[in-house]
Amino acid sequence: MTKAIDGAKEGRREIKRRQTRERIEESAMSLFLERGFDATTIEDIAERAEVSKRSFFDYFPSKEEVVFAWQDGFADRMMATIASRPADEPAVKAVQHGLIEAIVSATEERTMALGELIRRTPTLKARDQLKYAKLEMKLTEALQARSRSDEERLRMRLLAAVVMGALRAGGEIWNEQPPGTSLETFAHQFFGDFWKALADFGNEGRVP
């Protein structure tokens, strides 16, 4: 009985921590978009979230980490989608579905505004490039979980590296698209062109 009570208390504690973290994150995002990143202090965030400054640091080591917390959610959605694809589906299709679903699900107004905030804030823009290394690691993990041999796992590692390079380029090209362009349509077209380019490069690289 005691263990059951302790488990229930632990569950409530985790719920409270999650709610506090979400409140801090939401407060920070609102302030960043209202005032700008540099003009917002940790004290401002703590006050808006109704927590102490010390409590802020219990959840985030810096205000930069709050901005990039959404990337963890993106990586998790990508991995979950790839894991849910049929086991016999070609890896390239699983990757495409996983990335596009994660990208499209991240296009709500707040996330798009956050992306613009990152692009116009030098300190955030520099840090933003690190996300690709993290996403590559997560994508490799998701693809290798579908692999059955060491040789296939190596191929999946190479595929993840190439796809992340394409995702970086695709993000830059997307930023140049005219307003009103469908992100989902753009993503499907981009991946179609990407796979074709890879096939062409492969043919060019074959030894006679």
Q: Which of 47, 66, 85 is the last residue of a domain?
A: 66
Q: Are residues 77 and 61 in the same domain?
A: no
Same domain (yes/no): 9, 49: yes
Domain edge (last residue) among 17, 45, 66: 66
Compute the distance between CA of residue 14 and CA of residue 88 in angstroms, rounded to an integer.
38
- 98 and 110 in one domain? yes
Q: How far apart are CA 45 and CA 169, in angstroms?
A: 34
DSSP state of 89: S
Mean pLDDT of all residues in 115-124: 84
Name, in order, each residue with C-beta under 8 angstroms of 43's C-beta and a sequence gap of 6 or more: 53
CB 24 within 8 A of CB 45: yes
pLDDT digits (tens, 9 = 90+) for 131-158: 888 889 989 999 999 888 999 999 999 9
Q: Rounded to whole angstroms, how far apart are CA atoms 201 and 208?
A: 14
Average pLDDT, the chain: 85
Please tell me the total count of domains within the chain.
2
- Structure confidence at residue 2 (pLDDT): 45
95 and 137 co-located in one domain: yes
In terms of domains, do 92 and 53 share one? no
What are the angstrom distances between the C-alpha of 65 and each of 29, 31, 68, 113, 128? 11, 15, 5, 17, 11
86 and 163 share one domain: yes
Could you tell me if 36 and 78 lie in one domain? Answer: no
Residue numbers of the domain that contains 189: 68-204
Q: How many CB atoms lie within 10 A of CB 206?
A: 6
CA 99 to chain CA centroid, nearest Å: 10
Asked if residue 182 and residue 161 are part of one domain, the reply reads yes
Q: pLDDT at position 76, please?
A: 82
Residues 48 and 99 in one domain: no
Query: What's the CATH code of the domain at 15?
Result: 1.10.10.60
Q: What is the CATH number of the domain that holds 105?
A: 1.10.357.10
Q: Are residues 56 and 136 in the same domain?
A: no
> Within its chain, how far is the Cα of 85 from the centroid?
19
